[in-house]
């Protein structure tokens, strides 16, 4: 059995794609087994080799002490017989799935695939991609026959970036495969590192569907709260007050409005919608939820403009500071951040915002959005502060701290936009600031 070969050190595991998902997985496996960590990004690989964790998911000390063999040389994959694919699956500008990374990874593995291997995909895809797209690529690139020379499985990633409580080891792992024999081997290998245990899905398609559905469900629930927030804004009702009252019931779900970006919840529903459309079904609930959540950047930007007008500001000359650019708190990942939608909307009014984010990767921000970050200590003379992301560094700031960032002017001309509802409303009103929160 391949499991025994790996346990006895006769075969290695490879993890292809060393981002927020793949790197923690490689480090976890390396505590038990021999692991090759592969990524085509040589700069990222060099950081790992030097003991630096650019994702901040496991930290520099873990990277320095791990036995993972980090490499960008695909030939090293020939030493492994259990391959885990954890490359991103983004969407195109037209919201259709972009399978280039997963297809490229399949070709790369195929070129280095040996008989008796198992390939497990963790990348989020719509049902059918693993069997209908990935397997043919593996067969063509390797010259081997799936089911005879190698096996394929699917185990969707469930990592929550920046979450130090619900970590990889503590989240139940869904596993699936093309047959019972390989399913058992896949399950036993994951059980070595997943303390919460594994759930054996009945098929690869079921496992693929489970992933897109769990993220779509969360997306829809947040969309509902976002729609309520937009309506309550017109009613001049504070949404957070409503939520706090509602949450006193035992079966309240605890969702809150917000910007829904990132490479999971803001993307995965489009994979489901795409496949449904191909089968002749036009999504109603899921697509509506996506439209609402995709429009929240504009809604916040409009609220900012209204407050600028209320504060008698000259719109184009207003000095607006955006605090937070990443897609969620305490992670450097800026991919598909919806804060950028706020910035772009304000640019339509001729406003050039100053952006502060002590967590974001400056180089990534420049490459991704052609934007420069400003250090918080250099912020002064602001007309409007927009707290867009709840980084720990921002949560510790009180009203006295932020008061130093404004221009010298009456408090009723200082504008505070609180997207994450981190400030105490009564204290803000007592100070007399022009305040709006989502």
Give the number of other CB atoms < 10 A from CB of residue 431.
16
Of 134, 146, 264, 384, the catalytic one is 264
pLDDT tens, position by position, 19-57: 989 999 999 999 999 999 999 999 999 999 999 998 888
Dihedral sign of CA atoms 87, 89, 90, 94 in order:
positive
pLDDT tens, position by position, 348-378: 999 989 999 999 988 889 998 999 999 999 9
Residue whose pair of structure tokens reads 């897609």 in the numeric block:
327
DSSP single-letter state for residue 275: H
pLDDT, residue 374, reads 94
Mean pLDDT of 337-347: 95
pLDDT tens, position by position, 296-325: 999 999 999 999 999 999 999 899 999 999
What are the φ and ψ backbone dihedral angles of 432, each rounded to 5 degrees?
90, 15
Is there a catalytic annotation at residue 353?
A: no
pLDDT, residue 93, reads 86
Rounded to whole angstroms, how far apart are CA atoms 33 and 27? 10
φ/ψ bin of 286: left (φ > 0), alpha (ψ from -120 to 50), beta (otherwise): alpha
What are the φ and ψ backbone dihedral angles of 83, each rounded to 5 degrees?
-110, 130
pLDDT exceeds 80 at position 263: no
Dihedral sign of CA atoms 230, 234, 240, 243 in order:
negative
Rounded to whole angstroms, how far apart are CA atoms 190 and 153? 12
Count H helices and E strands in the chain, helices first.
18, 13
pLDDT exceeds 80 at position 160: no
- Residue 234: partners with Cβ closer than 8 Å, 6 or more residues away: none
Q: What is the dihedral of CA 211, 213, 219, 225, to 10 degrees?
A: -140
CB 40 within 8 A of CB 100: no
- Domains in the chain (CATH in brackets) are 2-201 (3.40.50.720), 202-291 (1.10.1040), 295-438 (3.40.50.720)
* C-alpha distances out from residue 386 to 159, 289, 355, 408, 410, Å: 29, 25, 10, 18, 18
Give the number of other CB atoms < 10 A from CB of residue 230.
18
Rounded to whole angstroms, how far apart are CA atoms 227 and 245? 18
- From 353, 356, 232, 224, select the one nearest 291 (Cα to Cα): 224
Residue whose pair of structure tokens reads 């450097």 in the numeric block:
332
pLDDT, residue 358, reads 95
Dihedral sign of CA atoms 237, 239, 245, 249 in order:
positive
């Amino acid at each position: 059995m391949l499991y025994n070969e790996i346990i006895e050190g006769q075969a290695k595991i490879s993890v292809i794609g060393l981002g927020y998902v793949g790197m923690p997985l490689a480090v976890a496996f390396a505590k038990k087994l021999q692991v090759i960590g592969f990524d085509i990004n040589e700069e990222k690989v060099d950081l790992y080799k030097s003991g630096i964790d650019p994702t901040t998911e496991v930290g520099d000390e873990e990277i320095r002490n791990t036995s993972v063999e980090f490499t960008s040389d695909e030939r090293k994959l020939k030493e492994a017989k259990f391959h885990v694919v954890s490359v991103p699956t983004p969407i195109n500008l037209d919201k259709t799935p972009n399978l280039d990374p997963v297809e490229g990874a399949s070709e790369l593995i195929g070129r280095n695939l040996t008989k008796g291997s198992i390939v497990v995909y963790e990348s989020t895809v719509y049902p059918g991609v693993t069997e209908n797209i990935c397997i043919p690529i593996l067969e063509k690139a390797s010259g081997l026959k799936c089911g005879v020379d190698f096996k394929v499985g699917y185990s969707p990633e469930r990592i929550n970036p920046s979450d130090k409580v619900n970590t990889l080891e503590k989240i139940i792992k869904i596993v699936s495969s093309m047959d019972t024999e390989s399913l058992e081997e896949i399950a036993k290998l994951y059980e070595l590192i997943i303390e919460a245990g594994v759930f054996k899905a009945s098929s690869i398609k079921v496992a693929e569907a489970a992933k897109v559905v769990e993220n779509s469900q969360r997306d829809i629930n947040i969309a509902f709260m976002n729609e309520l927030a937009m309506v309550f804004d017109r009613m001049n009702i504070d949404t957070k007050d409503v939520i706090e009252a509602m949450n006193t019931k035992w079966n309240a779900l605890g969702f809150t409005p917000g910007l829904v970006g990132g490479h999971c919840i803001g993307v995965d529903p489009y994979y489901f919608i795409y496949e449904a459309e191909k089968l002749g079904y036009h999504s109603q609930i899921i697509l509506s939820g996506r439209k609402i959540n995709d429009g929240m950047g504009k809604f916040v930007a409009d609220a900012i403009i209204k407050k600028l007008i209320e504060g008698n500001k000259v719109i184009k000359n207003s000095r607006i500071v955006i605090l937070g650019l990443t897609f969620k708190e305490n992670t450097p990942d800026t991919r598909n951040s919806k804060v950028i939608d706020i910035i772009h909307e304000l640019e339509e009014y001729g406003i050039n915002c100053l952006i502060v984010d002590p967590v974001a990767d400056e180089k990534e921000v420049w490459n991704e959005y052609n934007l420069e970050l400003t250090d918080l200590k250099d912020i002064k003379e602001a007309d409007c502060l927009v707290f867009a992301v709840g980084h720990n560094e921002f949560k510790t700031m009180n009203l006295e701290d932020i008061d130093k960032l404004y221009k010298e002017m009456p408090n009723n001309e200082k504008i505070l936009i609180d997207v994450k509802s981190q400030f105490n409303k009564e204290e803000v009103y007592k100070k007399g600031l022009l305040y709006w929160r989502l």
